Structure 1
Amino acid sequence: MSNFDQGEKPETGAAKAGTTRRRRWLIWLIVPGVVIIAVSLFLPSPPESDEAPAPAAPTEVVMQLLPSELHEVRRAALRDTVQLTGSLVPGRELTIAAEVSGRIEDVSLREGQAVKAGEGLVTIDVEALRNQLEQQQSTAQATLAQLDLARAQLRRTTDLVGRGVTSSSSLETEAANVAQLEANYAALMKQVASAEDDLSKARITAPFDGVISKRSVNAGAFASPGTELLQLVDISELILEGGIPVNYAPRLRVGQQVSIRVDGIPGRRFEGTINRVAPVAVAGTRVLPVYATIANTNDLLKGGMFAAGELVLEETQDGIGIPTTAIREDGDKTYVLRVEDDRVVRQEVEIARTWNRGRTSEIASGLDAGDIIVSQAMERLQDGTRVNRIGAAQ
């Protein structure tokens, strides 16, 4: 069966010619590409350069420094201190009690009122005491009259005995009578003085300038010797009753300075002086009691307030001190990083000693007042590092 019979159409002459032309164009496109690839495979590759390309220059790191990370070197007082805590108590405190029996006539003062020395505080009814005094005075006067009479009689008897008119036994009797009356009169005068003293004690006055801190009686109440009436305190000076570890005892002495802060009064410091040091530590605590006088010129402080501060064990008035955290070590060399323009540079220093329980180092040489140093241990910060300061140094 012919192709025509199978359903295929015979190609015409024009169709065959078109197919032939397309094949020729494809050949012309493919052949040059094959030739180029073959030539490139057989040609030698260009020689490699011996020099590597230059790397890009690294960017310089600039570190920022905060004011808390810097310290300005100054000359100032350097101190070695120990913590001191305790309570404030009045410098003088007195409980005033009745010394005689009687009914309270007047007690007008109340808690918080100030009084002056010699000002009346309490008056006790003294009528019974006054009567007793008058009785004692009358008895003494009567005895004195008897004594004067006995003395006159003794003088007469002595004269008679001298002239031989009267026996000597009468003289002895008269002399014994005078002696007895003199003894009675002396005893009565002591009773009069005691009654006068009791009468004076019925009016109670302030022994010193102070403030009434407690009142225990009212007018009309009966008081007997020992009855508590008032409590008077002097807070012009307060005593800090504190304690420190007993191992500091060898360095303690009367006259050392104390600087304290008081709960309830923020932002204020009060200065005082050690006036007493206990000879024995409190049993079981190894804490040595110390007592410091604190001036209270503005009456800001009150008894019972809690205080905390520092006791100055030793000090120097003119020294260069820097935070110990600023010190760096390199072998046997000690140095700090000083800020110079926009970089930090290594500055070797010599340390004289440490103060303030090791937190401050005194510099003997290497730094001057006005220098700015790095006060913190910043490991990434090294000699020559460029820095940018933010704010003023502390």
Structure 2
Amino acid sequence: MLCAVAGLGMGLGNTASAAQRAQIEALYSTTISSEVSGRIDKIGYREGESFNKGATLVSIDCTSYAAERDRVAAKLASAQAKRDNQEKLAQLQSAGKLEVDLARLGVNESAAELRAARANVARCSINAPFAGRVNGLEASLGQSIKPQDKLMTVVGQELNARVIVPANWLSWLKKDDAVNLSVSETGTPVTAHVVRIGAAVDPVSHTIPIWARLDKTADLRPGMTARAEFPGAPDNAGSKKKQPDTTPKPDASAS
């Protein structure tokens, strides 16, 4: 909202300022939910802690799923032995085509069940889809959960700055243009570059949003604000169009 207000004020009258207000946003954010039922065995990270992509965020007790996997694996081994036996009997003309086909279908069915059982075992460990930080916990150690229960919210380490700029900047602003940010909360200077330009101009304020990818994000958090300056802006980007002088001039012949 702060960005929009600042951008609106600066866009009035079709004038531009080379410095604009920016809002820091996470490129990725999501709610981590369970895909299986069970008891939470481990919570790997607490609120505010950072993690790498692929790190185990939550572990669910997998005893029953592992047992089911082993049972189906044994069933598959039995089906394979039965198939092999039927194929040998068929070579000796002691088994018909139907018996062989049914034995092969039994192997395929057991193999599919084993894939499903292994998938459930894998779902007992919930891994981070991207590098980031825990934004909030919604479950506790030892809690019994069911599929789709929310466990935590996470935000990514990659950050963008969202800036509302005057629409007439589109005459010179391009993707990959440099942006210099001064973060309000920390005073930290950060460099960035434009990665996206909005798809439509606001017809009321004559502004458009852009997004700049931050080159350094270690000390920054989503929700921070910054002053964004554009070193590639033309010299007149911060000045109003000069109006012709219409002040009446004294008549020299009258003196």
Structure 1 runs of 4+ aligned residues shifted over 6 Å read none
1:246 aligns with 2:164: no
- Change over 3 Å in CA distance of 1:177–1:286 after alignment to 2: farther
Q: What is the DSSP-based 3-state SS (H/G/I as helix, E as strand, rest coil) of the residue aligned with 2:59? A: strand
Structure with the greater alpha carbon radius of gyration: 1
- Change over 3 Å in CA distance of 1:129–1:263 after alignment to 2: same
1:263-274 residue pairs with structure 2 within 5 A?
A: 263-266=184-187, 268-274=188-194
1:129-168 residue pairs with structure 2 within 5 A?
A: 129-157=65-93
After superposition, give the CA deviation of every residue in 1:114-149 in whole Å (9 maximum; x if it has no partner).
223343321101122122212222222222222112
Give the residue type in structure 2 aligned to 1:300. D
Aligned partners of 1:276 and 1:290 also within 8 Å? yes
Cα distance in 1 for residues equivalent to 2:224 and 2:112: 49
Cα distance in 1 for residues equivalent to 2:60 and 2:202: 44
Give unmatched runs, 5+ long, in structure 2. 1-15, 241-255
Aligned partners of 1:101 and 1:224 also within 8 Å? yes
- Change over 3 Å in CA distance of 1:204–1:355 after alignment to 2: same
Cα distance in 2 for residues equivalent to 1:186 and 1:256: 56
After superposition, give the CA deviation of every residue in 1:172-195 in whole Å (9 maximum; x if it has no partner).
xx1122122212211210210121
After superposition, give the CA deviation of every residue in 1:336-368 in whole Å (9 maximum; x if it has no partner).
xxxxxxxxxxxxxxxxxx544348xxxxxxxxx
Cα distance in 2 for residues equivalent to 1:355 and 1:230: 48
Aligned partners of 1:82 and 1:313 also within 8 Å? no
1:214 aligns with 2:136: yes
1:16-35 residue pairs with structure 2 within 5 A?
A: none
Give the residue type in structure 2 aligned to 1:197. A
Cα distance in 1 for residues equivalent to 2:143 and 2:49: 21
Aligned partners of 2:31 and 2:153 also within 8 Å? yes
Normalised TM-score (structure 2): 0.77
Higher relative contact order (CA 8 A, sep 6+): 2
The equivalent position to 2:196 in structure 1, one of 244, 251, 276, is 276
1:109 aligns with 2:31: no
Cα distance in 2 for residues equivalent to 1:357 and 1:109: 46
Cα distance in 2 for residues equivalent to 1:134 and 1:284: 64
Deviation at 1:285, TM superposition (A): 4.1
1:203 aligns with 2:129: no
After superposition, give the CA deviation of every residue in 1:77-119 in whole Å (9 maximum; x if it has no partner).
xxx9634323101233333221222111111521112223343
Q: What is the DSSP-based 3-state SS (H/G/I as helix, E as strand, rest coil) of the residue aligned with 1:181? A: helix
Cα distance in 2 for residues equivalent to 1:258 and 1:83: 10
1:227-238 residue pairs with structure 2 within 5 A?
A: 227-235=149-157, 237-238=158-159
Q: What is the DSSP-based 3-state SS (H/G/I as helix, E as strand, rest coil) of the residue aligned with 2:28? A: strand
The equivalent position to 1:302 in structure 2, one of 221, 237, 249, is 221
Cα distance in 1 for residues equivalent to 2:180 and 2:202: 23
Aligned length: 225
Instruction: Give 2:209's aligned residue.
Output: 289
Aligned partners of 2:191 and 2:216 also within 8 Å? no
- Change over 3 Å in CA distance of 1:262–1:110 after alignment to 2: same
